[in-house]
Structures are given as structure tokens and as C-alpha cells.
Amino acid sequence: MPLTNPWLAEPAPTRRLARDRLEERIRNLLAAQNMCVLATTGADGPLATPVRYYSLGLAIMFTASPRSPKMRNLAADPRVSAGIFAPLVGLASSRGAQIFGRARVLGPDDPAKAPFWEAFRWESEHVERGRPLTEPPSETLVVIEPERIVYTEHWLRRDGFAPRQIWRRDEP
């Protein structure tokens, strides 16, 4: 039987990408998608919530109602995992990232929000909610700056690299 991608039938390589190439691939994935599944933990156990996000570098950010279950969970434990993935057509197209870190909740008056709002496409949310674009955003912003990212891309196997790559903030 002919194989569409014969390199998938071979044992997976173990070679690591250079850090700059890995970061480029992660940034590309983050920029090409806009939904993640955010995992938090609370008194009732784990919670996985679909969230629309925006990215700045390797960080992701989103707005949330302060009364939402995910925000209650973040107040109790800021450790999170976010799963981001590209549409899957077959094994060769498998591409995604798991981001692990601590969520920072930036309230309406927090000056630390400024650099993130510049990358956040808040105008579309204002239009969706019927707010004038002349009114600056006042929502709570949640920012996740990763401590670790597990990046998976099976197409890397074709070039002799491991399909699963690990990025850590504290490694050069």
C-alpha cells in the first residue's frame, strides 16, 4: 500500500530544534489560532474552558468576567495549562502547544496592562458588545507568560527533528 508520508512510518527522531527556531514555530502557531482550552483547578476539581485569546510573543492573554468560574479558580490557584492546536487533517498535520504557567490577573486600573492592550484586538470585542471605539477598554485582562511549553508538530519528523519539543523559560 502506498504511503502518503513515508517519514511517519519511520521511528520518530529525537533531535531538538534550536531555541530560536522553536520559538518561531510556537509564535507562528499562537498567531495562526485564536482559541485555546484553559485548564484551571478549583474547589470542584479541574475546569477546562474554551477561551478566545490573543498573543504577544509567547504570552497569551484574554479577558474574563471577574465572576466567572475560571476567575474564581485563578484567584485560588493561578497555575494554569492552556492547550492550543491547529485543525487536524491527519497525523502529518498534527500541531499544537501546551502552555504551562501562572496567570496574572490585571484589573481595570492596573498600569501593567498597557503593553498587552496594544497587542489585544479589543476593538472587535467592543463592536460585539455595542461599545463605542472611542471608549478605552476597562476589562480585567488575564496574561499567561509561559514557564514551559510542550510543542508538538509531526511535520518536524520529515526534517529529522523530534515531533515533541520542550521550551522552558529558564533555559537559554
pLDDT at 7: 82
Q: Would you state the cell numbers that stand for residue 73, as one nine-digit string?
A: 479558580
Spell out, as residue ranges, where the chain has pLDDT lower than 50.
none
Say if CB 56 and CB 48 are below 8 A apart: no
Verdict on whether the full-model pTM lies above 0.95: no
Give residue 92's Cα distance to chain centre: 21
Dmax over Cα atoms in the chain, in whole Å? 63
pLDDT at 78: 97
CA distances from 133 to 53, 110, 127, 137 (A): 20, 20, 7, 9
